[in-house]
Amino acid sequence: MTQPIRIHNDPGVILELLNLRTVFETRGGTVRAVNGISFYTRNDTVLGVVGESGCGKTVMAHSILRTVDPMGGKVADGNIFFRRKNGEVVDIASLPSEGRQLRSLRGSEISMIFQEPMTAFSPVYTIGQQIMEVITLHQKIPSRQAKAKAIEMLGRVSIPKPEVRVDAYPHQLSGGMRQRAMIAMALSCQPKLLIADEPTTALDVTIQAQILELMVALQREFEMNIIMITHDLGVIAELATDVVVMYLGSIVEKAPVGEVYSNPKHPYTKALQESIPRVEGSVSKKLATISGSVPSAKNIPPGCPFHPRCREFMQGQCDVHVPTLETLSADHTVACWLYGGGE
């Protein structure tokens, strides 16, 4: 199963995963949290990653930064090609764990923001100290300049009175303000790639919208790539340009956002689509929930991982052979035997 490596030929591609496998060895067996995924993402896009809880979205994100290693995970196989600011392409999967090269990428070229704005900052340092830390770590500038930069970044994410807030401790800010500060910290070294793992799930609906709007605006301003992880298809519809649909550690479909909504191919994507609550006229349509529950990542079904719940399951094919990603049109790929997947 050899796929073409795009990143070497197309300077617009900044990240390309090839057959990435991340596992956790636990007492109860091997958890295949990310089970052989491949995708690439181009400059200036917002790539949405969706899927049910436990499908491996967070683990995939932590694999890209290799922060899975200290969590007990292991990138067991595959490549994570990333184009650095200087144009050089590195394979993050092959870098030594917690090594210097890896650390030089974190926070400076690839940043990450997390779901919990309440606990993602250390309570004992000011917001400013924590932002300055990442700046001085990657840029050799005196701390006074770093502080000015921190204040500037807090202003960029629309925090009022940034020159005061810079000296505030996390517990003195509201959840929304903290998430803005988190974004300011993530962007303070102008990374090329920002991975946001459900950045708004813990916030009020109105704050959610503000934060998402801010992220889109900053994405354009900083000309960076965002990978937006969520299980909220509404969020995806609002700001993603492309969508990756994950199921049990695999990618089942990848397409431009319009295609996913207007022309979903994979039975799982279709089911996800139908499960969005929608109001049509005055009659709200009944939710079509996906039957069955997600199997455990310790015990992934043979063949297509979705076959036990699939409405279009084909005996002898789907439960035996693993479908590979099949290209339907330029940017639309799907892993399903309905579309002749596999060699």
Partner 1 sequence: MLAYLLRRSVWMLVTIVLVSMLSFILIQLPPGDFLSTYIAQLSASGQQVDAAEVAALEARYGLDRPVYVQYAMWIRGIVTRGDFGQSFQWNRPVSDLIWERVWFTVILSGASFVFSWVVAIPIGIFSAVRKYSVGDYLFTFLGFIGLSTPNFLLALVLMWLLYINFGVSPGGLFSQEYIDAPWSLAKVWDMLQHLIVPVVVIGTAGTAGLIRTLRARLLDELNRPYVTTARAKGLSAWKLLIRYPVRLAILPFISTVGWVLPQLVSGGIIVAIVLNLPTVGPMLHRSLMSQDMYLAGSFILIISVLTVIGTLVSDLLLAWLDPRIRYE
Ligand X SMILES: Nc1ncnc2c1ncn2[C@@H]1O[C@H](COP(=O)(O)OP(=O)(O)OP(=O)(O)O)[C@@H](O)[C@H]1O
Q: What angle do CA 6, 12, 15 make, to 5 degrees?
A: 60
Residues 67-106 that bind ligand X (CB under 6 A): 71-72
Residues at the site binding partner 1, with contacts judged by CB under 8 A: 62, 65, 67, 70-71, 98, 103-108, 111-112, 114, 116, 119-124, 126, 130, 133-134, 137-138, 169, 171-172, 182, 185
Work out which of 50, 59, 159, 211 binds ligand X, going by CB under 6 A: 59
The minimum distance between CB 262 and Mg ion, in angstroms, equals 28
Give the neighbor-by-neighbor strand order of the sheet with 13-26.
29-42, 13-26, 73-83, 89-91
Does residue 261 contact residue 237 with C-beta atoms inside 8 Å?
A: yes
**How far separated are the first and last CA of the chain, in Å rounded?**
8
Judged by beta carbon, residue 68 or residue 252, the one nearer partner 1 is: 68
If binding is defined by CB under 5 A, does position 58 make contact with Mg ion? yes
Does 293 bind ligand X (CB under 6 A)? Our answer is no
Of 55-63, 96-104, 300-308, 316-324, the segment contacting ligand X by CB under 6 A is 55-63
| Stretch in the footprint of ligand X (CB under 6 A) among 23-31, 79-87, 158-166, 325-333 | 23-31
Each residue 228-247 as x (binds ligand X by CB under 6 A) or -, in order, gives ---x----------------
Query: Please, are residues 7 and 89 in contact by the beta-carbon 8 Å criterion?
Result: yes
Nearer Cβ to partner 1 (108/241)? 108
Q: Give the nearer residue to Mg ion in terms of CB position, either 197 or 253.
A: 197
Q: Residue 286 binds which entry of partner 1, Mg ion, ligand X, none, with Cβ cut-offs from 5 to 8 Å by kind?
A: none
Is 63 a binding residue for Mg ion by CB under 5 A? The answer is no
Give the torsion sign (CA, 107, 113, 118, 120): negative
Binding residues vs ligand X (CB under 6 A): 24, 26, 31, 33, 51, 53-59, 71-72, 231, 297
Binding residues vs Mg ion (CB under 5 A): 58
